[in-house]
Amino acid sequence: MKNIVKMSEIQKMPELSGSEVYMSQTEFGKKTLSIYTPQLLKYSQENSLYSSPRTLFPEGIRVVHFSIYPDTLTMIRADYAILYENEEKWEAKNNVIAQNAKGEVLRTEYLIWNQKAGKIFSDKQVQITTEDDIIEGTGFEADDNFENWEIQNVTGIFTFSDAQSADSVATDSLKVPDSN
């Protein structure tokens, strides 16, 4: 019986785990993506409680996508994230903040990135801070560079009196340490 209990416990364990993980993706020798997470847990379909392979980031994630390193295209952070590997879909939850190359900042509690479709979206409350405005609503969709975006069910638009006010809303907390 002790062996049976141990086998069931093994099935709950991740296939791969790591702490303070830095990952970089390169294309043609150029850095295109940098990821940092305090904790990573990877589960395979055969050896877990989940129905499909996934990677969990239970203590949060910070991702920087570069156009040409070190020029940042987009940044995103969340307090919790999941990568559904078969679906090529990322789910970010809790204190999700994204910033695009134009400096526009998205804040929400829930965001999906569908890599296959090249779209990011949310059906939850969102707030986007632009150079001149703060726009709030429920529901959001954009391309995966967070360039062409649309908020559904807009509930408020707040205009700044000067550009300095908008800069004070942006955050430096999205920066990912460089792990060259």
Q: What is the pTM of this model?
A: 0.78
Is residue 112 within 8 A of residue 121, CB to CB? The reply is yes
Residue 81 makes CB contacts below 8 A (sequence gap 6+) with 37, 56, 57, 60, 61, 90, 91, 92, 93
Is residue 113 within 8 A of residue 90, CB to CB? The reply is yes
Digit-coded pLDDT (tens) for 91-121:
999 999 999 988 999 999 999 999 889 899 9
Instruction: Write down the pLDDT at residue 2.
Output: 56
Is residue 72 within 8 A of residue 178, CB to CB? The reply is no
Q: What are the chain's domains?
A: 2-169 (2.60.450.10)
Instruction: Write down the pLDDT at residue 13.
Output: 77
Digit-coded pLDDT (tens) for 166-177:
444 444 434 444
Digit-coded pLDDT (tens) for 135-146:
999 999 999 888
Query: How far is 50 from 110, CA to CA, in rounded Å?
Result: 21
Instruction: Write down the pLDDT at residue 166.
Output: 44
